[in-house]
Amino acid sequence: PLYAVDPNTGSIEFAKNKKLHLLDPFLWHLCEEWCMQEVARKTETIAEALLATHIARFLHKKSIGKRLSDGVSYWKNGCEIDVVARTKGALFGFEMKWSDNEKAFPFKAGPIKKITYVSKNFFKETQPKAIPLAMLLAML
């Protein structure tokens, strides 16, 4: 589970909604069959879960927290940052847009200043950065 984070203090807000990412795509298919409800934008949802899981594993390997999900959270207040990596010094945001169109990325400044946009194949080197998911995962 990903808990909401307060961008000003970096603390977890347990009273707010949580995001649940399933680790295995088979579980997505199993839940769809059991609930008799197809998940909308399934590929984008699985890619976002993959991003959150890999960032959580990377931070867990660096000994940030005892549980796998201790180093990651999300933020939502009008707009959303899908994954927020909480390190000892700062917050780093990762916003997933499963698109190759540059106009799909909002490139807005929010309360979390260090944001990397993650795309399907679109790459932008200048600030704010956009990087393909496969390239980001290869760098972890």
Q: What is the pTM for the complete model shown? A: 0.83
First-to-last alpha carbon distance for the chain, in angstroms, is 21
The pairing of beta strand 12-13 with beta strand 3-5: antiparallel
Q: How confident is the model at residue 109 (pLDDT cuts 50, 70, 90)?
A: low
10 Å Cβ neighbour count for 130?
A: 20
DSSP 8-state assignment for residue 137: H
Tens digits of residue pLDDT in 59-86 = 888 776 677 778 899 998 878 889 999 8
